[in-house]
Amino acid sequence: MTSFIPYGRQDIQPPDIAAVLEVLQSDWLTQGPAIERFEQAVANSCGVRYAVAVSSATAALHIACLAIGLGPGDRLWTCPNTFVASANCGLYCGATVGFVDLDPHTYNLSLAELERKLVQAAAAGTVPKVLVPVHFAGQSCELARIADLARQYGFRVIEDASHAIGGQYRGQAIGSCQFSDLAVFSFHPVKIITTGEGGMVLTNQPDLYEALIRLRTHGITRNPALMQEESHGPWYYQQLELGFNYRMTDIQAALGYSQMQRLQEFVTRRRFLADRYTTLLQDLPLTLPWQHPDTASSWHLYVIRLHLEKLQRSQRQVFEALRQMGIGVNLHYIPVHTQPYYQALGFRWGDFPQAEQYYREAISLPLYPGLSLADQDRVIQALSEILS
């Protein structure tokens, strides 16, 4: 029996386990020193001023939107080729969600399409308050062009960098927020580094940072300078707005800090494996991932597109044949606007043809640091057999 090869998997080593055990034996399981240490490590690695660790990237997107003041009557735009959380954060705030179709080369949101929609929106008075560009598969969006449009049209930018810690744009680390207001990472086990569940919000803006800190803990402050009346004493705190308990535990943060020590190693290995796929899949009837020269991907995903007109089999048949051979392929993503919840909001199949066409052809191949060359060869061999 050959084993099942998953599409993604965490890489946990003895130092990670030791770091978690150390916290379990310490005084602080949550709200202790491990959080700040992890935040500092990520902030330093990204070259950004502030980092706020939270319980998930979904929570991170939610408080990022709230910190900007997104609310009822406002609009948030993102790409349909993403996980539902990139759009749901707008709905959590009572805002209206819209989508920008994908670029058929990068699978990120299309800049041409964004410009076209902004011209229309400006004429109609419906310019979004927030744009959430998603760095799909770990490849950065064209952030400089997005920043230009943000200035011209007056919207804010929250990067959904859930796939992209360890990646670069024009030589700068993703998360630097050089071209955006905020950026968000996910530490789910399939992502680049993990804390089990977890996320982080990054920003260079002190006012956004203060809001994020409050929103993570119930809207509460202990800072006398921010209080609306004099402190009653050392026990005193004030709730200034409606926040949440979106905290990360110290157990998770210690794991995250330990994982950060290997971020470069993880990304280097992912790049090596991605390059190897690109070399060894050249001759198959596939479109392989195209990389914009301004970007260096963290390679969260390796997505192939089937040339269906040249194949005897459907996408589903190829997918199922791979799964039967023990290859844990996946599909990223079902276009968000086709989900029943979004259809009930008025979206329809046909609204975003590039995302839908992509969805009919795409398959994500296994890619993670612990993928052995022998297992990668099994994936390549299986694909060659199925597609020939």
Q: Is 38 in the site for ligand PLP (CB under 6 A)?
A: no
Choose one: 54-62, 256-264, 317-325, 340-348; the region binding ligand PLP (CB under 6 A).
Answer: 54-62
3-state secondary structure of 112: helix
Choose one: 50-58, 217-225, 250-258, 276-284; the region binding ligand PLP (CB under 6 A).
Answer: 50-58
Among 42, 51, 130, 134, binds ligand PLP (CB under 6 A): 134
Q: Is 57 in the site for ligand PLP (CB under 6 A)?
A: yes
Among 188, 216, 305, 378, binds ligand PLP (CB under 6 A): 188
C-beta of 177 vs 193, nearer to ligand PLP: 193
3-state secondary structure of 199: strand
Residue pair 16/194 in contact (Cβ under 8 Å)? The answer is no
Residues in Cβ contact with 17 at an 8 Å cutoff, skipping those fewer than 6 apart:
none
Q: How far apart are CA 196 and CA 249, in angstroms?
A: 11
Q: How far apart are CA 371 and CA 373, in angstroms?
A: 7
> How would you label 126-135 residue by residue, b for 16+ Cβ within 10 Å and e otherwise?
ebbbbbbbbb
Which burial class, exposed, middle or buried, applies to 357 when counting CB atoms under 10 A from its CB (0-12, 13-18, 19+)?
middle
C-beta of 194 vs 376, nearer to ligand PLP: 194
* Joined tokens for residue 54: 């939270």
Residues in Cβ contact with 268 at an 8 Å cutoff, skipping those fewer than 6 apart:
none
Q: How far apart are the first and last CA of the chain?
A: 24
Q: Is 160 in the site for ligand PLP (CB under 6 A)?
A: yes
Phi, psi dihedral angles at 172 (to 5 degrees): -100, 145
Q: Is 199 in the site for ligand PLP (CB under 6 A)?
A: yes
Q: Is 286 in the site for ligand PLP (CB under 6 A)?
A: no
Q: Is 139 in the site for ligand PLP (CB under 6 A)?
A: no
3-state secondary structure of 51: strand
Q: How many CB atoms lie within 10 A of CB 300?
A: 27
Q: Is 82 in the site for ligand PLP (CB under 6 A)?
A: yes
C-beta of 160 vs 382, nearer to ligand PLP: 160
Phi, psi dihedral angles at 332 (to 5 degrees): -120, 110
Among 7, 77, 83, 319, binds ligand PLP (CB under 6 A): 83
C-beta of 56 vs 298, nearer to ligand PLP: 56
191 part of the active site:
yes
Q: How far is the CB of 301 from ligand PLP (least distance, A)?
A: 9
Q: Is 58 in the site for ligand PLP (CB under 6 A)?
A: yes
CA angle (312, 314, 319) in 5-degree steps: 120
C-beta of 188 vs 337, nearer to ligand PLP: 188
Choose one: 13-21, 94-102, 115-123, 155-163; the region binding ligand PLP (CB under 6 A).
Answer: 155-163
Q: How far is the CB of 74 from ligand PLP (least distance, A)?
A: 20
What are the residue numbers of the active site? 191
- Residues in contact with ligand PLP by the rule CB under 6 A: 56-58, 82-83, 85-86, 134, 160, 162-163, 186, 188, 199
